[in-house]
Chains A and B, each alone.
Chain A
Amino acid sequence: MKAEETAAPGAPLIGPHEIIIEPNQAWLRLDWGQLWEFRDLLALLIHREFASKYKQTILGPAWFILQPLMTSIVMTIFFGRVAKVPTDGIPPVLFYLCNQLSWNYLTTNLQTGTAIFLNNATLFGKVYFPRLVVPISLVLSNLFACLLQLVSFLLIYLGYVLLVPGTRGLHLSPSALFLPLLFIHTALLSLGVCLWLSAVTAKYRDLNQVVQLFVQLWMFASPVIYPLSKFPIKWRWLAELNPMTAILEAFRLCLLGTGTLTVESLVMSICGTLFLLLTGILIFQRTERTFIDTV
């Protein structure tokens, strides 16, 4: 066995690997090749996130479906029935469920992603790997939960169309084919915000407390409990500065056929997402390089 080992000194090791370590004050130092090299780790981290979250829980992954469902029901009762918030003529349950698809995905990402540095301090302090793998794995593992939620949404949707009279006007349009793109858009946006929040909270821990508040305020600023169409036209541009606005409206347009979406607002949302993502990567990179000295 020994002889074999020495005869073939680790086949995967071949290749001139040269690592140069020096202080790097440049803003962008992203080694995409490195990131690719650690793709196996990415897959395993996704698995870890997913498996560990629901080990030893009674309902397991069913929570992925139940939690947004219950939120939607509560919203239907309070905002739909009690406060009578208009829903663009869509049955309130479907309206809120549809909004929960993207909004719930975003908030789960933010909840799990904000404390990346703080939660992984011991790991980061002991072993090197591209830190970006961690937030990416979080966003992807949450995406899986989000897809489960989509399936449950479609089932309820189907039930609604078949069983409740007066909803025949609803139909899935071919624009539903854009859904994957929308999911990617949401994923990138939440990744960008996660990177920002994790970097900022690593430096200023007290901001951890503020994140919760920030998410809540963001929700009221986004058309989650109300449609954008109810926003005064004069101020609509203000609402469209929020990248989530276009995403929420687009989701509704794709799945339920009604939504206030303009090309400008979509382009603005995409630009905003890319801006957040790029700056997020930059600030995350900057934090990761010396973060460990500060804990």
Chain B
Amino acid sequence: MTKPIIEVQNLSKLYTLGSIGATSLREGVELLWSKVTRRPPLNGKKLTARFAPEQVGPVPHSFWALRDVSFTVQPGEVIGLVGQNGAGKSTLLKILSRITEPTKGRAILRGRVASLLEVGTGFHPELSGRDNIYLNGAILGMKHAEITRKFDEIVDFAEVDDFVDTPVKRYSSGMHLRLAFAVAAHLEPEILLVDEVLAVGDATFQKKCLGKMGDVARQGRTVLVVSHNMASILSLCQRAVMLKYGTVARVGPVQEIVHAYLESAKPEEVVALADRHDREGDGSIRYDSIAIENAEGGSIIRTGSRCKVTIRYKSTKPLRHVRFLLTIYDLTHVSLLQLDSEATGGLPENLPAEGTVICETDALAITPGRCYVNLDLVRGHQLADHIAYAAYFDVEEDDFYGTGKLPKREWTMTVLKHRWKAGCDTAAPLEPEGFKDR
């Protein structure tokens, strides 16, 4: 067993709210005076009053951005760092990249570190692209010779061949971004710390970045990625660490952690439809309410339950040719299925101006977990109403297969009744791996 390349041991970081120490000389003198006289500083009252609700920890108006965070990373691992805003991801990354110091604990990094907390750090607008490649490279820790060796490659990657000698301030923002990422992408550290850089640029560029990151990972380097984009975390990392309120909530395989994160990040409550004003569409018809229950009218929906959706709508005049569309999503915003009145038919062509429609389903073949419903109402070819996250329901576990065994949501989203038997030589058996691949 080799030594872990990153070892984080009980890392803690205390932040003082408002300001550290004093920001003006007057405050400084006050603080000093209070230390001498052992009385609370004059401005202390003001600060505590303002920050009292958040205050945690022993020192007044201070809080622990990180508390006893420990984990290890093995060489060659690509590890994701997930957590909600304020969970301490950026603080952790800042400490690991030596931008700020921890308050307690320690971290050991066994290798050359490069951190990419922002694309294009240190670009100087007056200097040419060439000068900036060297400057940026040096800031990120590359040697002059190293940059010279990779110069053409960088320029190629950034697609700025004709503009290397133009000042960067004349670059388009896209060129600026490409050049900046190109420099960063050609770093060859043993440990790469990346923060949200994938959140910038257009889709093509993001794809390019992701591809490059994948390459870096495949070269056996260790990468620590912070991102809110679960798709990129899933595609890049094998393992992930979930932070919550500054502590490590969970460490494990990436699917598991991403799932746990999404579970914890789900909206607390869905607002009643009548109070929803963030709708789209022309507004000629409005969804008034929606109720999702099982076929017997109970509120519990299980895998394999038959469901009944009752929708009330409101309009000013009778409806003709309307289409009710319910799209059901999982936590990762992947569409699971649609209930479409046009696809199935059955609704009369003409409906009263105000009324109720009911949709009944067969057995719901969805694995246990939360589902969200988006509502659309289309009149002719015109979108009349659209509500995102109009409702949610939790699919509870049930003995769908009659064996007491049911796949989990992290593994797959749907279930299907199927049969196995031995002795079929010609038919290729279904590989269990086939399900995982989505």
The residues of A with any CB-CB pair to B shorter than 8 Å are: 5-6, 9-10, 12-13, 16-24, 38, 40-41, 43-45, 47-48, 51-52, 55-56, 122-129, 203-207, 289-290, 292-294
Tell me how far the C-beta of A60 lies from the nearest C-beta in chain B, rounded to whole angstroms: 13
**Chain A residues in 8 Å Cβ range of B121:** 122-123, 126-127
Q: What B residues does A52 contact at CB under 8 A?
A: 124, 126-127
Q: Which residues of A contact B131 (CB under 8 A)?
A: 44, 47-48, 51
A-B contacts besides A48-B124, A128-B97, 20 pairs, CB < 8 Å: A6-B219, A12-B143, A17-B109, A18-B110, A21-B98, A21-B106, A23-B103, A24-B101, A38-B141, A40-B143, A43-B144, A45-B135, A48-B135, A51-B127, A56-B126, A126-B99, A127-B99, A128-B115, A289-B101, A290-B100
User: Which of B117, B141, B220 is A9 in contact with, Cβ under 8 Å?
Assistant: B220
Q: Which residue from A12, A20, A38, A294 sits with its C-beta under 8 Å from B23?
A: A294
A133, chain B: closest CB distance, angstroms? 9
**Given the complex, which residues of B lie within 8 Å of A289, measured CB to CB?**
100-101
Q: Which residues of B contact A (CB under 8 A)?
A: 15, 19-26, 28, 94-113, 115, 117-118, 121-122, 124, 126-127, 131, 134-135, 138-144, 146, 167, 188-190, 219-220
Q: Which residues of A contact B122 (CB under 8 A)?
A: 123, 127
Q: Which 10 pairs from chain A and chain B are nearest by CB?
A: A22-B106, A41-B138, A10-B188, A128-B98, A40-B144, A19-B109, A21-B107, A52-B126, A126-B121, A55-B126
* Cα separation A23 to B103 with both chains bound (whole Å): 6
- In the bound complex, CA of A293 to CA of B16 (Å): 9
Residue pair A129, B25 in contact (C-beta under 8 Å): no
Measured between beta carbons, the chain B residues less than 8 angstroms from A12 are 143, 146, 188
15 contacting pairs across A/B (C-beta < 8 A): A6-B219, A12-B146, A20-B106, A20-B109, A21-B107, A21-B109, A23-B101, A23-B106, A48-B131, A123-B121, A126-B121, A127-B139, A206-B25, A206-B26, A294-B19
**Which of A21, A41, A51 contacts B139, CB < 8 Å?**
A41
Q: Could you say which residues of chain B place their CB within 8 Å of the CB of A127?
A: 97, 99, 115, 117-118, 121-122, 139-140
B189 to chain A, nearest CB (A): 8
The distance from the CB of A295 to the nearest CB of chain B, in whole angstroms, is 10
Residue from the list B98, B144, B146 in contact with A19, Cβ < 8 A: B98
Output the nearest chain B residue to A122 by Cβ-Cβ distance: B121
Whether B28 lies near A203 (C-beta < 8 A) is yes
Other-chain contact of A18, B94, B105, B108 (Cβ < 8 Å): B108
Residues of B within 8 A of A16 (CB): 110
User: Chain B: interface secondary structure?
Assistant: loop
> Does B107 contact A22, Cβ atoms closer than 8 Å?
yes
For residue A125, which residues in chain B have a CB less than 8 angstroms away from its CB? 94, 99, 117
Which of the residues B24, B107, B134, B167 comes within 8 Å of A20, measured between beta carbons? B107
Given contacts A6-B219, A123-B121, contact A205 B24 (CB under 8 A): yes
Task: Find chain A residues with CB under 8 A from B20 CB.
Answer: 290, 293-294
* A292-B106 CB under 8 A given contacts A52-B126, A123-B121, A203-B21: no
Partner of B99, one of A20, A44, A47, A128: A128
CB A56 to nearest CB in B, in angstroms, measures 7
Instruction: List A contacts of B220 (CB < 8 A).
Output: 6, 9
Tell me the bound Cα distance from A24 to B103 in angstroms. Answer: 9
Closest chain-A Cβ to B276's Cβ sits at a distance in Å of: 39
Shortest A201–chain B CB gap in Å is 10
Residue from the set B15, B21, B124, B138 with the largest chain A CB neighbour count within 10 Å: B138
A36 CB to nearest chain B CB (Å): 12
Q: Are B127 and A48 in contact (CB under 8 A)?
A: yes
Q: Are B134 and A44 in contact (CB under 8 A)?
A: yes
Q: Which residues of A contact B19 (CB under 8 A)?
A: 294
Specify the chain B residue showing the minimal Cβ separation from A130: B98
Query: What's the Cα separation between A128 and B98 when bound, in Å?
Result: 6
Beta-carbon contact of B188 and A40 below 8 Å: no
Identify the closest chain A residue to B128 (Cβ).
Answer: A51
Selected from B24, B95, B127, the residue in CB contact (under 8 A) with A206 is B24
B15: A residues at CB distance < 8 A: 293
A204 touches B24 (CB 8 A): yes
Chain A residue numbers with a CB within 8 Å of B105 are: 22-23
In the complex, the answer to whether B188 meets A44 with C-beta atoms within 8 Å is no
Is there contact, CB below 8 Å, between A203 and B22? yes
Q: Give the distance in Å from the alpha carbon of A5 to the alpha carbon of B96 in the complex.
A: 27
**Alpha-carbon distance between A273 and B336 when the two chains are bound, in angstroms:** 72
Residues of B within 8 A of A204 (CB): 22-25, 28
Q: A19 and B113 in contact (CB under 8 A), knowing A38-B138, A126-B99, A292-B99? A: yes
* CA of A52 to CA of B168, assembled, Å: 12
Name B100's contact: one of A38, A122, A292 (CB within 8 Å).
A292
The interface residues of chain A lying within 8 Å CB-to-CB of B126 are 51-52, 55-56
B141 and A129 contacting across the interface, CB-CB below 8 Å: yes
Q: How far is the CB of B7 from chain A (nearest CB, A)?
A: 9
- Bound-state CA distance A281–B101 (Å) is 18
Evaluate contact between A124 and B99: CB separation under 8 angstroms.
yes
Residues of A near B95 (CB, < 8 A) are 21
Do residues A5 and B219 form an inter-chain contact, with CB atoms below 8 A?
yes
Report chain A residues within 8 Å CB of B104. Answer: 23
Establish whether residues A13 and B115, one from each chain, have CB atoms under 8 Å apart when the complex forms.
Answer: no
Q: Which residues of B are found within 8 Å of A43, using beta-carbon distances?
A: 144
Alpha-carbon distance between A91 and B118 when the two chains are bound, in angstroms:
56
CA distance A207 to B22 in the complex (A): 13
B135 nearest CB across to chain A (Å): 5
B190 x A21 contact (CB < 8 A):
no
